[in-house]
Structure 1
């Protein structure tokens, strides 16, 4: 019962804040002769503010014993709240006596309300909540640097924990536990939050994702999407790593090399070891993001893709344009690829690395005319399939690494005038073919893995080894 009363604290606390600040404002304004009449209502406002502050302090005390907030912050907030209540009572008494020293009491009360409110905001929203919006755009770059000996790294300590620290602990750490959840230690992660465990129950089978992964894959606008829309979002590779860790049983003591790795996960880990994105060096978001607005994607289509383990994420904050990755897909049948056609206006970034592409898949791919970045690294794409890519007139970046395409096949995409990045490492193309290939694509940066061919200023080219 006491805990139930304590939960009214967030509702009660705003009344004393508002009425006491208004009383202070009236009191200071009444120093001017033109507003002297306001002084008569100040004592009543202070009395109401004192009573509501007292009730707020009591409910806050009851709430503090029923939550896992940081003890030091709670203590500061609690005593400052009591001090504010006492100061409101003293100021009411001074006004009733007509004391001139009430003006200094008014200034002190404003300071107490401000500092108490700051600590309350820190408890509710986490450290740095007041200044986090002053740094411009939310940083969404990768958390993990290159890890040369990644197979020897501890999965949790080296990969999972850094992601949690950078993306999650601000709301789920020692100073704040939104939803009763902490992600800064093994025991807390296994315990879960108010809504139950965040990791899947082993009884649910190996394909179970658990609540944490489900919320990561929700649309950015969804109420339960994590992290919240205003916070730094996870990259696709980071989501893939967490998804892999969870589906592998969420071990806390295993090394990377001790865990089973499918072809897609090997691609992510290899890219991380080299310090590159799994889809190749990233094109700028500004170039990938069309300037004209677009309607939201059909929710049913997005849901079908996510049910199949496909990652569907917004390309940027407050944007309906999407990036889709099959890195962690559990189903890759033709019907799933046909669903992509429903996202044709919104889909601008697609990763199909290590995929076996059927004729129907290629047909679906050719309809995605808004695509600006396409990664087919390690896929089964052939020279004949490249003909379908001629329809992707907006394509800026194309990754064909580790595929069977040839110089002859690449001739079919030379009409893609917006193409600026072409990744061809680990293909059958010979070194002697590179200069001629650059002549065919004079405005394209061709990455061969061992060296990158620069854009030609004219009709000649110079190949430089790194």
Structure 2
């Protein structure tokens, strides 16, 4: 009963602390305008008296939060010292305003400036405890232009991690994301730290959380399987919960003896867990690095009604469309000179291009998508695109493409899909499975054609 009450008082600290803060801020505002306010003398005295009283309550509630909340002394000591100093300064200012002869030798500005400095320092240290040390400085870094590196999880490819330990690859990231917030070097609820392998093995005030002799009885596993309504359930309600797959992999790791040297390959993950944790997918577009595109050139091209956009934010790869420039011809391809390595998607649909365009397109080495819908393309010279190792899709819908060039088209070995249907003609078909997988004739699907392909 008493313990629960102290826990409650500790958790009320973020609320209680705003009372002395409010009194101090109000008092300082009146102090700055005291010459304009005839009643300021008694008001300031009254305000700083109550900032002292509420400050005492804040100190006690903060101490209970430290004691019952699992915080380390090293984490809160300077915040506590600064808070006590602020409260003592408020009491000193109150005595000064009452005419205490021992405090009158200090100038009045000492109290006002001191309150401002201590309030700022105490608040900042408290914010660091609650939100982390980067909470305030991170946006400042952005404002002044310093680079802020975000911890963005990267897709993982299973074959790249087979020889890595399962602990560092899978277990530790789960613990870091779901447990370390409350069990780290600065804050250790129940005396438990989980931020390192050694801390995990050591356990907390109630003993070890990993049972190497009988893994099934490990306290960590028991806690994550408790109903969410149980106060001992971990992570606690209000925190990010473990996914079903994360629970499954923790179960498997503990049941196999909590081996920190076990490799991912030895761990023998089932396919569902591999798909969940190793979610690497080959990028559709090239992954090589290219230089920034020429922005002056892009501006000039846009003036000619050529649409140019990055394929996604912060990418140097571009998608280019001449959809608004129907007069774009073979000769106009030279306008794109300087962007050949940046262009991965080129839409020349409804333009005036002919087969001669292929003699220039073979320089666009990163070209991945080529759209030639509703053009006079017949296919002569299309084999010149064989050197484009990234070319995956060609759209020739309603072009003048001829049957006799389909074999040349199929020699482009990187192709994954070719859209070749037409309203006015049919194309030869093949029994070859690869041919039918790549070539989409779409005889009855023209009306449902998705313009995004």
Q: Shorter-chain TM-score: what band?
A: 0.3 to 0.5
Q: TM-score, normalised by structure 1?
A: 0.46
